[in-house]
Amino acid sequence: MMRIDSDYALRQLAPWCSAWIAILAGMLAGCGMHDVQPAHHARHYRVVGYDTVKSDIAPQDVGKIDTLIFAFARLVDGEVTLPPADAVHLHRLIALKATHPRLNVVVSVGGWTVDGFSDAASTAASRQRFADSAARLLAANDADGLDVDWEYPGHTEAHIKASAQDRDNFTLLLKDLRTTLDRAGDAHGRHGASHYTLSIAAADGVFVSSIDIPAVEPSLDWLNLMTYDFVNSMTPTTGHHSGLYSSTYAPVGARSTDKAVRQFLAAGVPSQKLLIGVAFYGREFADVQPAHDGLYQAYGHYQGEYSWPRLKTEFINHSGYIRYWDEVSQAPFLWNAATHRFISYDDPQSIAAKAAYVKSHQLGGIMYWEQGEDPQGELLDAVWRGLQPERPE
Residues with a known catalytic role: 151
What are the two backbone dihedrals, phi and then psi, of residue 325, each rounded to the nearest 5 degrees? Answer: -120, 120
Query: Quick check: bond before 393 cis, omega within 30?
Result: no
Nearest to 367 by CA among 294, 293, 259, 278: 278
Q: Is 223 helix (H, G, I), strand (E, B) or coil?
A: strand
Q: For residues 336 and 288, give the distance between their C-alpha atoms in angstroms, rounded to a whole number.
A: 10
- Residue 268 in contact with residue 214, Cβ under 8 Å? yes
188, amino acid identity:
H
Query: Quick check: bond before 152 cis, omega within 30?
Result: yes
The conformation of residue 311, written as its DSSP 8-state character, comes to: I
End-to-end CA distance of the chain: 24
What are the two backbone dihedrals, phi and then psi, of residue 47, each rounded to the nearest 5 degrees? Answer: -115, 115
Handedness of CA 120, 125, 127, 132 (dihedral sign): negative
Q: Name 324's bridge partners.
A: 333
User: How big is the chain, counted in residues?
Assistant: 393
Q: How many CB atoms lie within 10 A of CB 307?
A: 18
Specify the DSSP element, H or E, that contains 76.
strand 67-76
Q: For residues 287 and 282, give the distance between their C-alpha atoms in angstroms, rounded to a whole number.
A: 17
